[in-house]
Amino acid sequence: MPVFITLSTTLRDCVPGYSPAQGLSIAWEGPITTGQLAEKIGLPVQEIKIIMHNGRYANLEQAVHNGDRVGYFPAIGGG
């Protein structure tokens, strides 16, 4: 079962062909962290400010398993 990934705002532009309506599903062999997963799909890790893993806050060292849901968010400013 693959990992389901969602990207927010400017991070979407980092993954060619990313569809906000569908998200992204990928599968792999072996252990992986949220940081390694981000690099694998081409996200600039320094741009990631919030990671959600299965609905909970996570860091770049969080282990990811098949079937998990991971969301990446950049810093968001407003005025």
Which pLDDT score, from 0 to 100, does residue 78 have? Answer: 53
Separation between Cα atoms, residue 50 and residue 58, nearest integer Å:
8
Which pLDDT score, from 0 to 100, does residue 77 have? Answer: 57
> Domains plus CATH for the chain?
3-74 (3.10.20.30)
Residue 26, Cα to own-chain centre: how many angstroms?
Answer: 11
Residue with tokens 């079937």: 67
Predicted confidence (pLDDT) per residue in 13-70, tens digit: 999 999 999 999 998 888 899 999 999 999 999 999 999 999 999 999 999 999 999 9
If DSSP states are collapsed to H, E and C, what string results for the chain?
CCEEEEECHHHHHHCCCCECCCEEEECCCCCEEHHHHHHHCCCCHHHEEEEEECCEEECCCCEECCCCEEEEEECCCCC
Radius of gyration of the chain (CA): 12
- What mean pLDDT do residues 4-8 have? 96
